[in-house]
Structure 1
Amino acid sequence: MSSRPLTPGAASRLLAVAALLTASLLAASGCAAASAEPVDADCPAAAESLASVDLVDDPRSAIGPSTACLSSHVITAVDDDTAPSLPVTVTDAEGREVEITDVSRILPVDISGTIAATVFGLGLGDQVVGRDSSTVFDGTEDLPVVTKTGHTLNAEAILELAPTVMLTDTTIGPKEVRQQLREAGIAVVVVSDDRRIDTVDQLVAEVAAALGVPERGAQLADRLTADIEAASAEVDEIAPGTASDRPRMLFLYVRGSANVYYIFGRDSGADSLIEAVDGIDVAGEIGWEGMKPMTAEALVAAQPDVLVMMTDGLASVGGVDGLVERIPALAQTPAGANRRVVDMADADILAFGPRTADVIRALARAVYAPASSPSAADSAPASTPTPTP
């Protein structure tokens, strides 16, 4: 099976399509789509520095699965209570001029929960009135969910909340609902959907500008940049110095219930995460651009040592054993032979927001010190896999 590569801007939209496909299949089978929840894994080493963990001798030949997990799901806000400067007019990612006059009732929604995390990071969490199903960090538990069947905007639920401003992107829709909300008088700002490690500061700037707090945005962006640089430096200290000794990694997006199997390659966002932990992005190495349906030939050509997956995706195929059974070609790769799968919570792994540095550390820990991470990848599949990105 083949497909043309996707552009970076289309990459996020494919995530939305896959999530919506899964959601529709669940609905058709009479199963309600559950809200995503933070992974409640025992992660005793998550708060430790990478320098203190017990490293595996050879990250390319490690055996067995491990789960990358965070020590905390708290978003730390900037230490700045400067009042929003309003009204403000911004040109959003779709080229619309939007005037924002009131940020007392903010609704941040996208497929990954990143926009909401950014709003909380700016210290405006108290003004958030609702959430998407991927927004599951601490302090959001009691907010009403405005996405039905996983990641579809529910116009009625949104209108009931009477938001004064809605921040979203094109990963979530449909666009007709966004237009309906505009016609109802809600200021709808569409921010860019290019999610990568090197675009974290851009998202912060867009959100901060729309909410009239550019100074807070500058502080948050500076802090996140410093955190990411620090995390990268920690990874450099524990990763092999020679490229040939570094783990060959491949990001595999799976939704077993929807029969969705995709490889994420160059410019998908997953490549920047692999590179951040000093891994070799083998999808990019074989010329895999964006996101395309997986093929057996591509897997065998890539020869990954480590597969990186979303936790719910792995659960949807019955864990590592089910994954190998469904994809026989994996047996011809080191990752399949060693059952070497690193999974991470769907709401965390590709969010690229305020917790990016922690995500980098967690993934590095699972790759280079698997004994310090839980092996929830072997757990039985959930009865109703969550259609998260």
Structure 2
Amino acid sequence: MRAIRRGRLAALGLTLALLTGACASSADVATTKTGPEPTSASARAAKAGKQLAANTLVPLAGKAPTPELPVTVGSSDGRKVTVTDASRILPLNGGVAEIVFTLGLGERVVGRDITATFKEAKKLPQVTKAHDVSAESVLSLRPTVVLADTDTGPKEAIDQIRDAGIPVVVLDVATKLSDVTTRTTRIAAALGVPAAGEALNARMSDELAAARAAVPEGSRPKVAFLYMRGSAAVYLIGGKGSGADSLLDAAGAVDAGTQAGLDRPFTPITTEALAQAQPDVILMMTKGLDSVGGLDGLLQIPGIAQTPAGMNRRVVDLEDGVLLSFGPRTPLVIDILVDRIHQG
């Protein structure tokens, strides 16, 4: 379940105006433009699909920002942390790593955790084993600042890293889209590049608004998010706080689990729960769908075939490292969801 929680979102709230008269190191920060933006849902989804298939990030345009340090920032474990050097950054969460790279600081990143699956991070040494941090692996990379979240563990490993004199900034786990703005702002502040954080928040907010504008008028399908790992006999349905509920709302859909009264993020799937949820569409992670034998295997799970989604074979899957990452690629996820969940 830590994989679910750590992959949750971060997100894209209100557009933040870029500061004028910013300091010299921030002057080159700009958003990246990749040509005219498509307006139809299908065109936006096609463009988003190509970018996700390439598994790469689009950093902010212009020269990489120069950190202005030292800074002292609040950490979600109740500490005040002073960062004096951002030359060797180690993010211990895939969504956090996406933000660091997109801010233009990827050349300073020295390692990754297992959830950082995008192409730019693949070459970096991995410091986690089955989602647990190896303090020895972290210390061997000599990071000057570590970015973690409240689910990062084990606690003993984080304490060992901190006891070695390395600043560790802990962030709240993102559980809804609006958390992404706060998360980006906090990461940019901790790394001494606040103006880059403002620029990235503005870009993501614009992208999300454009995705939402493509939602067909009057369409409000019910979508159930299913988290499955067939080999481990894990079969869960998402409810309130799963992270998927926020994504589905942004994409103009109703989270079927939440509407059915599931007040926990994840609940074991039962035929009764599915009968009550009655989803029009099922949303899954790609590896989860593969783990149960694809669409045909999914329909063999009791209760699935009897839902409208099962009867109409309406299943949408997205890559595990992207769907609940709540990072700079989340607007692409919304583009794809808007197109695929509203199809007849």
Matched, 1:88 2:71: yes
Distance 1:144 1:347, change over 3 A: same
- In 1, are the aligned partners of 2:175 and 2:241 still within 8 Å (CA)? no
Partner deviation per Cα, 1:95-150 (whole Å, 9 max, x = no partner): 1111111110000112xx1000000111100000001122122322211111113x
- Counterpart-to-counterpart distance in 2, 1:221 and 1:48: 18
- Counterpart-to-counterpart distance in 2, 1:52 and 1:96: 44
- Counterpart-to-counterpart distance in 2, 1:216 and 1:277: 27
Q: Partner letter of residue 113 of structure 2? A: D
Partner deviation per Cα, 1:155-211 (whole Å, 9 max, x = no partner): 221111111111011233111111111011111111110232221111101101111
Normalised by the size of structure 1, how large is the TM-score?
A: 0.74
Match of 1:183 in 2: 163
Match of 2:256 in 1: 282
Residue identity (%): 46
Match of 2:277 in 1: 302
- Counterpart-to-counterpart distance in 1, 2:233 and 2:158: 29
- Counterpart-to-counterpart distance in 2, 1:205 and 1:48: 26
- Counterpart-to-counterpart distance in 1, 2:297 and 2:287: 13
Distance 1:312 1:178, change over 3 A: same
Match of 1:77 in 2: 59
- In 1, are the aligned partners of 2:41 and 2:339 still within 8 Å (CA)? no
Partner deviation per Cα, 1:327-364 (whole Å, 9 max, x = no partner): 21112211122222111000011111111111111222
Gaps of 5+ in 2: 8-35, 44-48
Structure 1 residue ranges (4+ consecutive) displaced by more than 3 angstroms after TM superposition: 47-50, 79-82
Distance 1:283 1:248, change over 3 A: same
After the TM superposition, which residues 18-97 of structure 1 pair with which residues of structure 2 at under 5 Å, given as runs?
A: 49=38, 51=40, 53=42, 70-78=52-60, 79=62, 81-97=64-80
- Counterpart-to-counterpart distance in 2, 1:213 and 1:296: 50
Match of 1:335 in 2: 309
> Secondary structure in 1 aligned to 2:120?
coil
- Counterpart-to-counterpart distance in 1, 2:316 and 2:39: 17
Q: Partner letter of residue 147 of structure 1? A: T
After the TM superposition, which residues 341-352 of structure 1 pair with which residues of structure 2 at under 5 Å, given as runs?
A: 341-352=315-326
Match of 1:265 in 2: 239
Which stretch of structure 1 is more off in the superposition, 124-133 or 172-181? Answer: 172-181
Distance 1:50 1:340, change over 3 A: farther
Matched, 1:109 2:92: yes
> Secondary structure in 2 aligned to 1:195?
coil
Give the drift of 1:13.
4.7
Distance 1:14 1:146, change over 3 A: closer
Point out which structure has higher relative CO (alpha carbons under 8 A, 6+ apart): 1
> Secondary structure in 2 aligned to 1:309?
strand
- In 1, are the aligned partners of 2:162 and 2:168 still within 8 Å (CA)? yes
- In 2, are the aligned partners of 1:195 and 1:351 still within 8 Å (CA)? no
**Aligned with residue 299 of structure 2, among 318, 324, 334:** 324
Give the drift of 1:93.
1.1
Distance 1:16 1:361, change over 3 A: closer
- Counterpart-to-counterpart distance in 2, 1:71 and 1:345: 9
> Secondary structure in 1 aligned to 2:182?
helix
For the aligned residues, what is the CA RMSD?
Answer: 2.5
Give the drift of 1:80.
5.1
> Secondary structure in 2 aligned to 1:95?
coil
Distance 1:265 1:229, change over 3 A: same
Normalised by the size of structure 2, how large is the TM-score?
A: 0.84
> Secondary structure in 2 aligned to 1:99?
strand
Distance 1:17 1:362, change over 3 A: closer
Q: Partner letter of residue 270 of structure 2? A: T
**Aligned with residue 112 of structure 2, among 116, 127, 131:** 131
- Counterpart-to-counterpart distance in 2, 1:348 and 1:52: 19
- In 2, are the aligned partners of 1:85 and 1:212 still within 8 Å (CA)? yes
Match of 1:140 in 2: 121
Partner deviation per Cα, 1:219-242 (whole Å, 9 max, x = no partner): 1111111111111112x2xx2x22
Give the drift of 1:17.
9.4
Distance 1:254 1:48, change over 3 A: farther
